[in-house]
Structure 1
Amino acid sequence: CTFTRQRSCCCAANEMYQLEDQTYGRVKGVNLQKDFMLPLSLCFSISESTKIAFKATMNSAIASVQPDLEVKCFGPFNINVPLPFSEVTLNDGFGYNPTLGIFTAPKSGIYVFSFTIYSYVGESDTKPVLLKKNIILPSGFNRNCVLSHISPFLHSQIVILRLVQGDQVYLDLLSGRKICRHLEYNIFTGYMLYPDMEEAPFYAD
């Protein structure tokens, strides 16, 4: 270097090294690290809280022989009865009760439910309804093609509901109705689409 007061081959070397050390220290600083980790932690926390899903089917063993049809059926009963989807293959969040056939929302949010009902009887004999807090939800049923006094009935539906923590959703078989043959084809599923943001976890300073 041509400078007379140089401290190394580069006049500003010491200042540059000092600046590098200060910058590195700030990057490793607690506040910056916390600010960086906060969104990531919040994202993981929200993701964990939405792991709520279930899938259940009926057990054909609960059916009994109907003398008039010579097939096994669940029902009829003289009162409305929740359909017992007792064969559970998924129950993340443990919101579904297989004994009662009822899903209870662990958290508030938007949920998606679907069900498929199959019965080898006429439409007039089979009509389950989806309920939320004992309120019947709208449901459109497909008409089966009646070729004889016994014919298959199949209906599938998907609904999106806003649930508050503790709300219950289940399928009722109306009094006097029955489901016959292949009960294992009947499926009830549900999952949380996203939680209410006001109940999402957060972290204070």
Structure 2
Amino acid sequence: MQRMSKFFDHAYGKVEEVLTETKTMLDNKRASRSAFSVALNNSPRPVCFGPFSADQVIMYTHIFINLGSGYSLQNGIFTVPRSGVYSLSVTIYTPFGNPHACGNLMVNEKLVSVIPEQNGQDAEDSATIVTTMQLLANDRVFVILPRGCAVCDDTKHHNTFTGFLLYATK
């Protein structure tokens, strides 16, 4: 009886160890989730951002998802929560003969991509950039509206900024 009790106590201890390790791995996996997708606004009527006399960070105010809380409504910046490879996309749009649509994808004040749309052959301008890049924890990713440009949006969500972690590297 004592041997059986000892055996079961030992087996139970091993099961508890595996359960604790599994819970830790699951918590780490959940903590590595990072995804955001935002739109310029959610107004029932078109509202424009810009044009301005100086470059401005585009403040996206409508959140579709902000898994991991990396995107800030206060400053329009996505702060990378975990080092890894991320997919980033930006779509810009302006209708009605407004100043042309343009934007700059930035990481830590460094220009990653220019997103111009200035064809002038129709009443609407739009462009999209999609990129995949290695980012480090605490990198700051945002979109600049260059001087003289404008973007307009409503409940159709033509202006979006999206990013998500493909896989963590640390």
Tell me the TM-score normalised to structure 1 length. 0.66
More strand as a share of residues: 2
Gap regions ≥5 residues in structure 2:
none
Match of 1:99 in 2: 74
Tell me the TM-score normalised to structure 2 length. 0.78
SS of residue in 2 equivalent to 1:130: strand
CA contact (8 A) 1:129 1:139 kept: yes
More helix as a share of residues: 1
CA contact (8 A) 1:121 1:180 kept: no
Per-residue CA distance 1:81-132 (angstroms, 9 max, x = gap): 1111011232222111112111011222222222221212679822101000
Alignment partner of 1:59 is 2:32: no
CA distance 1:156–1:37, change in 2 (3 Å): same
SS of residue in 2 equivalent to 1:96: coil
CA contact (8 A) 2:40 2:160 kept: yes
From 29, 33, 47, the counterpart of 2:15: 33
Match of 1:134 in 2: 109
Which has the higher Rg, Structure 1 or Structure 2? 1
CA contact (8 A) 2:100 2:118 kept: no
Per-residue CA distance 1:145-173 (angstroms, 9 max, x = gap): 714xxx22222222222222211000111
Alignment partner of 1:190 is 2:163: yes
Gap regions ≥5 residues in structure 1:
1-16, 64-70, 198-205
Match of 1:85 in 2: 60
What is the aligned residue count?
A: 168
Q: Which has the higher contact order (CA 8 A, sep 6+)?
A: 2
Identity %: 24
CA contact (8 A) 1:122 1:144 kept: no
Match of 1:11 in 2: none
